[in-house]
A and B are shown apart, each in its own frame.
Chain A
């Protein structure tokens, strides 16, 4: 491929429970740390799943966000803002002579939930004698208790627009929702935009949902939440066959994309490029996950787009969210695509340490993958114990025990939803 057609990654911003910069995240990951702990943001005593990887309270003042703006922002908004600002600066876009309309922005956004405290006064003011809502009271008076701009904050695209305003970027854009495939779609579309010269630089990635009673309840009711461990800092183990279920994480990842020639001209540093991508849909018969065939289709498409064969892939950063059917089907798909190489193929899942970042996961995994390529290290996913999946005899083998040193040229990043969407993105060294 001509260098003029290569889409390189010139900047990255990663915020998660492990740290607020890419370096902090990488160091914590290499040190075997996990951000998964008992939920502290609210009393999760009433829930049967009590673990999450939370980022803790973020003070908007420290981010220089005006209190007026902060009133319609929440954790997810601060995370996207931080990751986007970091990627923007890291790529030198604050110094580049690109016009605002030449910088595009694509993001996957998690669900935005109603903050109970925001609407509670209106409801309380409208309670009838038997504890039910007195509708006329609500309609005529109660609703006035709601902050007038509060409804705006419930629109999924408002956070995205706030970040665009903060960075002053006006280029091509779209917002996808709400799972990992949405984050992958954002990166894919960002890449297409660069490739087709519709923007000179693009920020792309996504953000997780806020860990809240509603988001935890939604995960639980989807039947994919881990419920066997309620407290402590024990990580779950994707593909392990035990302690099944996913754990929510808070975080955002944003990467900056640019044509290699453009990056060279302005002296922007890069080490990796996006080589290929694939997307497919097909819900498994048995449970909330894409079928093995669907996951395999997305992986094969990514290889085809990149003009690569399975032998060219050195590492899989799996979706590996720990859910029963997700892991099972992904293991089957990896086996189907990689054949005899499956047992030799190292597999990593960041979710054991960062939790499930949903739409934020693909960019987070790409950023961690870039670190792995640059440093030639695959961090140990599970520091101590590991038990091979009972479901798939040829399940991929997570890196356990010690971190591995390995020269990595190309990494496949897998992403899935619980509704049937699957996506794969391949990143590689720039040659």
Chain B
């Protein structure tokens, strides 16, 4: 078997793109984050009257690039908001990487963390008109009513976004859809990295997208009491690692990276932005609603990423935390970081981008990977804003409230998913 012909291939990053509550591209998002601005506000995408949490991080429609785009129009009926966000991010990333110029499209794949769109209340009530409550459906009545578009069914499917992205960018290699909740974006990047290492592709568009600022997407997290309910202003609600944190803030967004085999990138003279040095995943195997109290899963993900990168904790200069602003996550993640870094733990800067843009679920891993890389290029560590009250159980250097000028060459970016799936990416500056 020619699973691996020689040593592991090196995988570099040659393009990045994002759309977040902080901006319609990478540069704007980074600039706003470096200024410590918040992208959180009262939700306008649906009526939140009566809900205990009414805030979120929305992306401005004007930032989306699919408006009037010919290539996109034939997929419009199937396209969720998540895909529209992803398209915007992928256009930025692919144009930076010069993806259009590549000839062998069978060697380009897509790996996407995406969950499909939630059903709307209006849709449900429309559907239920044809349901008698006792297991009987009038399907023919539903279809002949012409009031319910069959395309709604395709919006639900997790793989619609990855498949359409493959078509839009003419990628004929592997096309993956990964659905591991908040770890999906990081896992999608990790799986793409493995596919390139395995020589099954030379280039992969990888990342994640999420657009859950609608009733059914939102209500689930209201019901499990995961969202921030106590806040004085929307902008100060997301407060990772702060003692008064009380839940996460739901946001939408997308992030795309172009991963490429180093030799492939060199041969075509691509501008190399950085290198993906390692990827680790793990499971808590603890409880479906709680993270492991001793941070077993979070620790393993970071340890696996370091091992994969052939590095030790001493080589890491910064940790881009999952840092959701929930009581449990931030506590457990701090514990995991202490276990990884030992005596050095308090001197390693750790910050959470979610303090400014909220939690973009399947997009978070991709967006945060890119912001980590951008910080590395600029010798800037993005801050954790709204950090006002020290929590004695969270005693690390969270880079409070202001960005810090500090050079670093290697970093970890964490993503931990509901149910206990964890992922960590090890990102490095490119070294010849």
Which residues from chain A sit less than 8 Å from chain B, CB to CB?
A: 1, 5, 42-43, 45-48, 69, 72, 100-101, 105, 109, 111, 114, 116, 119-120, 123-124, 127, 131-133, 135-136, 138-141, 143, 146, 148-152, 154-158, 160-162, 164-165, 167-179, 181-182, 185, 189, 192, 195, 198, 213-214, 217-218, 220-222, 275-276, 278-283, 294, 297, 301, 304-307, 417, 419-421
Chain B, residues 392-432, CB within 8 Å of chain A (1/0): the string is: 00000000000000000000000001111100000000000
In the assembled complex, the Cα of A409 lies from the Cα of B140 at a distance in Å of 49
| Selected contact of B106 from candidates A164, A172, A181, A297, CB within 8 Å | A297
B89 interfacial by beta-carbon distance below 8 Å: no
Residue of A nearest to B128 (CB): A123
**Are A111 and B125 interface neighbours, CB within 8 A?**
no
Q: Which residue of A lies closest to B167 (CB)?
A: A283
A154 pairs with B220, CB closer than 8 A: yes
B86 close to chain A: CB less than 8 A: no
**What range describes how many residues of B lie at the interface?**
35 or more
Report B152 CB to chain A, min CB distance, Å.
9
Whether the pair A170, B179 counts as a contact (CB closer than 8 A) is no
* CB <8 Å contact, A175 and B421: yes
A125 to chain B minimum Cβ distance, whole angstroms, is: 12
User: Is the beta-carbon distance between B421 and A161 smaller than 8 angstroms?
Assistant: yes
Q: A46-B136, A46-B140 are in contact. Are A165 and B282 (CB under 8 A)?
A: no
> Which of B110, B222, B224 touches A149 (beta carbons < 8 Å)?
B224
User: How far apart are A177's CB and chain B's nearest CB, in angstroms?
Assistant: 4
Q: Which residues of B contact A (CB under 8 A)?
A: 1-4, 47-51, 106, 109-110, 115-116, 119, 121-122, 124-125, 128-131, 133, 135-141, 150, 153, 156-160, 163, 166-167, 171-181, 187, 190-191, 194, 198, 200, 215, 219-225, 280-289, 296-297, 300, 304, 308, 417-421
Given contacts A164-B283, A307-B1, contact A185 B180 (CB under 8 A): no
CA–CA, A138 and B116, complex, Å = 23
Q: Do B159 and A179 have beta carbons less than 8 Å apart?
A: yes
Give, as a whole number of angstroms, the nearest-CB distance from B137 to chain A.
5
Q: Which residue of A lies closest to B122 (CB)?
A: A133
Question: In the bound complex, do residue A173 and residue B282 qualify as a contact, i.e. CB atoms below 8 Å apart?
Answer: yes
The A-B contact count (CB < 8 A) is 257
Of A136, A192, A307, the contact of B49 (CB 8 Å cutoff): A136
Contact residues in B for A421 (Cβ distance below 8 Å): 159, 163, 174-175
| Contact A152-B220, Cβ < 8 Å, known A139-B51, A164-B283 | yes
Please indicate the chain A residues that have their CB under 8 angstroms from the CB of B172 in the complex: 280-282, 294, 297
Which among A46, A72, A155, A307 is the interface contact of B137 at CB below 8 angstroms? A46
Query: Does A45 lie within 8 Å of B297, measured CB to CB?
Result: no
A170 and B418 in contact, given A46-B138, A280-B172, A421-B163 (Cβ under 8 angstroms): no
**A109 surroundings in chain B (CB, below 8 A):** 179
In the complex, the chain A residue whose C-beta lies closest to that of B1 is A1
Distance in angstroms from A161 CB to nearest chain B CB is 3
- Please name 19 pairs of A and B residues whose Cβ atoms are closer than 8 Å in the assembled complex, sorted by A: A46-B137, A132-B125, A139-B48, A141-B50, A146-B219, A155-B419, A157-B418, A158-B288, A161-B288, A171-B282, A172-B304, A175-B178, A175-B179, A176-B176, A222-B153, A278-B200, A279-B173, A297-B172, A420-B163
A133 contacts B179, C-beta separation under 8 Å: no
Interchain CB contact (< 8 A) of B178 among A174, A181, A282: A174
Given contacts A176-B178, A177-B178, contact A131 B139 (CB under 8 A): no
> Chain A's nearest CB lies how many Å from the CB of B167?
6
The 6 closest A-B pairs by CB, nearest first: A151-B220, A161-B419, A140-B50, A419-B163, A156-B179, A46-B139
Q: In the complex, A157 Cα to B140 Cα: how many Å?
A: 32
Chain B hits for A173, CB < 8 A: 180, 281-283, 421
Residues of B within 8 A of A279 (CB): 109, 173-175, 200
Contacts of A189 in B (CB 8 A): 191, 194
When distances are taken between beta carbons in the complex, the residues of chain A under 8 Å from B225 are: 148
B128, A116: Cβ atoms closer than 8 Å: yes
- Complex Cα distance, B191 from A182, in Å, reads 13
Separation of A189 and B200 alpha carbons in the complex (Å): 12
Quick check: B139 and A170 within 8 Å, CB to CB? Answer: no
CB-CB nearest in chain A for B217 = A151
Within 8 Å CB of B219, what residues of A? 143, 146, 151
Closest-CB distance, A134 to chain B (whole angstroms): 10
| Residue of B139, B171, B177 most packed against chain A (CB within 10 A) | B177
Residues of A within 8 A of B191 (CB): 174, 189
Q: B137 contacts A43, CB within 8 Å? A: yes
CB distance from B240 to the nearest CB of A (A): 22
**Pick from B121, B130, B136, B224: contact of A138, CB under 8 Å:** B121
